């Protein structure tokens, strides 16, 4: 039983870790690693976008696993998998929170907390979500209609066990709640704004370092001259003491 969950848990851990480091901490990670963000606009170098897409994929995989492991939905050697659905539900709940909090929970913010562009983005997310839900419902009705009247199959929803039906309803409710955030996480093409700022910071820092180096180079001959003068002085002093010593010996 546990062995089945090991690869899934490993993938979950890696993706969540990636999400936390790249999204939740953002610029702080860049500061810790002290690395200059190079070519941030290259699509494959956008960890935030990848983290968003990974989150969406993981959410759907978890939801599928949860439904698949619901009691009555899957039976292994005559044993109904009642306990196995619980970790999937917990992971699904964690992922739901992670997806919703992605990009400052933009999809679930009131008007007052957003500026005009963000309000536009949020409204578009809901419009896309309604379209997706509409398409899914239309697909389900079409499939049911075809099964009933074209393939003449017996469609009886009473055959689904109560626990399974409840699990499906819970997943569907979570899906409807999280859908705008899922759309946001999947489609968000925003280049890393913080990295832009950091990059600007690096440019100014580089300029300042160059200026400092130039200044040091300018000052270097002077210090060399000063050092030579000091040497000469010391040499002269040394010469005087030698002559003094010599005269002293003679006298």
Residues that bind another protein (CB under 8 A): 114-118, 190-191, 193, 196-197
Q: Which is nearer to another protein, 120 or 144 (CB)?
A: 120
Residue 27 CB, nearest approach to another protein (Å)? 11
Alpha carbons 241 and 247: distance in angstroms, whole number: 10
Kindly report the number of other CB atoms within 10 A of residue 111's CB atom: 10
Residue 119 CB, nearest approach to another protein (Å)? 10
Residue 35 CB, nearest approach to another protein (Å)? 21
Which residues fall within 8 angstroms of residue 194, CB to CB, at 6 or more apart?
26, 27, 30
Which 3 state secondary structure label does DSSP give 80?
strand
Handedness of CA 152, 156, 157, 161 (dihedral sign): negative
Residue 224 CB, nearest approach to another protein (Å)? 38
Q: Which is nearer to another protein, 15 or 107 (CB)?
A: 107
Residue 16 CB, nearest approach to another protein (Å)? 24
Q: Which is nearer to another protein, 111 or 135 (CB)?
A: 111
Q: Which is nearer to another protein, 77 or 115 (CB)?
A: 115
Q: Which is nearer to another protein, 114 or 165 (CB)?
A: 114
The four Cα atoms 157, 158, 162, 163 give a dihedral, to 10 degrees, of -50
**What phi and psi values does residue 188 have, to the nearest 5 degrees?**
-60, 105
């Amino acid at each position: 039983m546990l062995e089945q969950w090991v690869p899934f848990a490993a993938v979950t851990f890696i993706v969540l870790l990636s999400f936390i480091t790249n999204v939740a901490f953002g610029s702080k990670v860049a500061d810790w690693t002290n690395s200059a963000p190079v070519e941030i606009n290259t699509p494959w170098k956008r960890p935030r976008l990848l983290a968003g897409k990974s989150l969406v994929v993981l959410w759907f995989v978890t939801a599928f696993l949860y439904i698949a492991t619901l009691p009555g939905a899957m039976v292994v050697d005559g044993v109904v998998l009642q306990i196995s659905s619980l970790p999937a539900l917990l992971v699904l709940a964690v992922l739901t929170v992670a997806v919703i909090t992605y990009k400052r929970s933009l999809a679930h913010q009131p008007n007052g907390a957003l500026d005009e562009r963000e309000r536009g983005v949020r409204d578009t997310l809901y419009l896309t979500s309604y379209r997706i839900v509409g398409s899914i419902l239309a697909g389900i009705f079409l499939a049911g209609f075809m099964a009933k009247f074209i393939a003449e199959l017996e469609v009886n929803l009473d055959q689904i066990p109560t626990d399974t039906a409840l699990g499906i309803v819970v997943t569907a409710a979570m899906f409807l709640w999280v859908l705008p955030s899922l759309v946001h996480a999947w489609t968000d093409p925003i280049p890393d704004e913080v990295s832009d700022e950091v990059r600007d910071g690096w440019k100014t820092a580089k300029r300042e370092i160059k200026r400092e180096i130039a200044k040091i180079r300018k000052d270097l001959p002077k210090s060399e001259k000063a050092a030579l003068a000091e040497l000469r002085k010391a040499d002269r002093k040394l010469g005087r003491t030698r002559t003094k010593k010599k005269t002293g010996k003679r006298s």
